[in-house]
Amino acid sequence: MARDKIKCVLGRQDIPVIQDQPQFIVDLLDTNILLFGSSMSGKTNLIRLLVTVLHKQYRVGDEQIFILDFGGALADLEHLPLVSAYFDNSNEEYVKRVFKLMEDQLKENIKKLGGKNFRGVESGQPVHTTLFIDNVNAFLDEPRYTAYQEKLAKVCRDGLSKGITVVMTASSTKGLGTLMSSFKQKIALEMPPESYTEIFNQKVIPVGNNPGHGFANVTIIPDDITGTFPLQVPYELQLNIADNISSPEFSSNIERYFGSSSVLKYKRFPDVLTEEACKSFAGDDIEVPTDDLSVNIGLDYTECRPVIMDFYSSKVAAVYGKKGFGKTNLLRRLLKDFIADPKYNFVFFDDGRSQLQEFADRIDDDGRKMYIRDNTEMLLPFKEKGAITEVKSKVTPMQLFIKLIHEYYMDLSQARRLSNLVLNEVFGTGIALPSMASERNIKNTVFVLQSKFLYINSLASKDFMEIILPSLAARADDMNWIIIFSDVKTISDSETRDNFHSAIGTAFLLDNIAEFVGERGRKSIFGAMDVKTLKEEYAQCEEGDGYYYSIEKDDLKKLKFIKETEE
């Protein structure tokens, strides 16, 4: 049955003009609620009271509750069946998530209601949502939350008629000027005398230090009242005391009323997200692919769903980020199952930092791996006047890497950049390297590329990025080649950079994205994104946070990465 009222009894009022002390009732479909009060005056009690009243009157499918706790005293409400999300002030991303969820809920409700108001539909009424914000002044005073203030104003202004009610507590009217017009129901507990005038536009006799005792205007007239009286003036109020949710009686009633049912829960991630914790958050109803080309890398911050790196559809991945932000941990996660699968071969292209040594060491079978990092002296075949001789040469890591690709994976003898043969540019004219690629036809290889030599402005790096990489990427699906650039650096040459970006299917960023894009501009694969929009949409990264970007789908997700243990 569609609801046209959500009435909640919260206390009693003294209305002298009718010589009565009726119940104080609010209708959550009629008004948002703004409660003022000094410290220890009973503000938190009102939130607890309203939350418990809603649990007594409604069930899953009727109501869902979101709580932003800037006062730090409501954490025990998180486990209640109708509380979909409880977040405190510890992580900006959770605050952002709540406003994103409210935006999405408002859009969804508008669509479902088809232009009608929430209380005006006969059927198909969405679940009602109540958003509680305790100590909204702390939210308004925090510079990092400035981007969300307009989102709050929109929910307060437009949400009520579409099934979203906002209940806020505040210690003062500071910063609330434009918001107050969206709150028909105002309550003021113990406050300085001048504050009552600001709230109600009328003087009152202060109530003194009496928790739960204050003033409120009337928005709902109780059914048993006779006589008329002004509504928008303050009348003395005594709020009820909220139930103790930890009491055996309350817990027993909750168990009897709700059983094991609850609304969809948006949980806080632990500081360290383990694979076991990830499975717990995802739940049994969320299927995680188990094929050997799908890797569960973490949880999406908005929906708490697994983020899957699908190497079946995206064979080339790039990892960006600062030192110490978790790039190595991500690489451990991406490579874990491939290293354990004996059918996969590995090519590690490192430099003097030897940052890929731990991964090479995990592969006991030397036949499965090739590790390139140092200059090497070797004999190279040299063709002169039709005769082949050998010349001793010092070969750089970049040359060794290209030589390996030519000999075992792809014949580069006819590859050209402009009018020059690639092998001539890399090794010099006359070096005649044989290729066994067509005979070997090596499949199932993971290339892990973490060398600074890939990004310097040299002929060899240009040849790789502009000629070799596109060719490897073109054959990657047929050969099941996976290419991971595990620490991407800035590429100064625009043509080389464009070729590199064109080959990338998926990118990861372990850094604050707005700052990263602002610093590197268009010189990264994220460069076309708008810095201002990124600042508004995404909070600062905590430890273990990062971004997953599917280039093909233009899909950017912020996530908490699964923490892999070092071996």
**7-258 under CATH 3.40.50.300, yes or no:** yes
For residues 21-42, average pLDDT = 95
Residue 48: φ, ψ to 5°: -60, -40
What CA–CA distance (Å, rounded) separates 534 from 522?
14
Q: Of residues 105 and 265, which shows the higher confidence score?
A: 105
What CA–CA distance (Å, rounded) separates 251 from 262?
14
| Whole-prediction pTM | 0.78
Contact 512, 541 (CB under 8 A): yes
pLDDT in tens, 279-329: 887 776 566 676 789 999 999 987 778 999 999 999 999 999 988 899 999
Q: Of residues 480 and 122, which shows the higher confidence score?
A: 480
Q: From the centroid of its chain, how far is CA 547?
A: 8
pLDDT confidence band for 90 (50 / 70 / 90): confident
What CA–CA distance (Å, rounded) separates 120 from 118?
5
pLDDT in tens, 343-383: 999 999 999 888 999 999 999 999 999 999 999 999 898 98
Give the strand pairing for 545-550 and 555-561.
antiparallel
Query: So what's the pLDDT on residue 318?
Result: 97
The whole-chain average pLDDT of the chain stands at 92
Task: Say whether pLDDT at 183 is over 60.
Answer: yes
Write out the H or E segment, with its range, that includes residue 34. Answer: strand 33-36
Q: Could you please report the per-residue DSSP string of 179-234? A: TGGG-SEEEE-S--HHHHHHHHSS------S-TTEEEE--SS--TT--S---SSS-
pLDDT in tens, 113-152: 988 999 988 888 999 999 999 999 999 998 888 878 999 9
Q: From the centroid of its chain, how far is CA 294?
A: 20
Contact 241, 212 (CB under 8 A): yes
Query: So what's the pLDDT on residue 323?
Result: 86
What CA–CA distance (Å, rounded) separates 371 from 448?
10
Nearest-5° angle of CA 74, CA 76, CA 82?
Answer: 90
Query: So what's the pLDDT on residue 384?
Result: 81
Q: Where in the chain is the domain with CATH 3.40.50.300?
A: 7-258, 275-376+441-561
For residues 216-221, average pLDDT = 92
Query: So what's the pLDDT on residue 424?
Result: 93
Pick the CATH number of 275-376+441-561 from 3.50.90.10, 3.10.450.50, 3.40.190.10, 3.40.50.300: 3.40.50.300
pLDDT confidence band for 436 (50 / 70 / 90): very high
For residue 561, list its beta bridge partners. 298
Query: So what's the pLDDT on residue 336?
Result: 94
Q: Is the dihedral of CA 457, 461, 463, 465 positive or negative?
A: negative
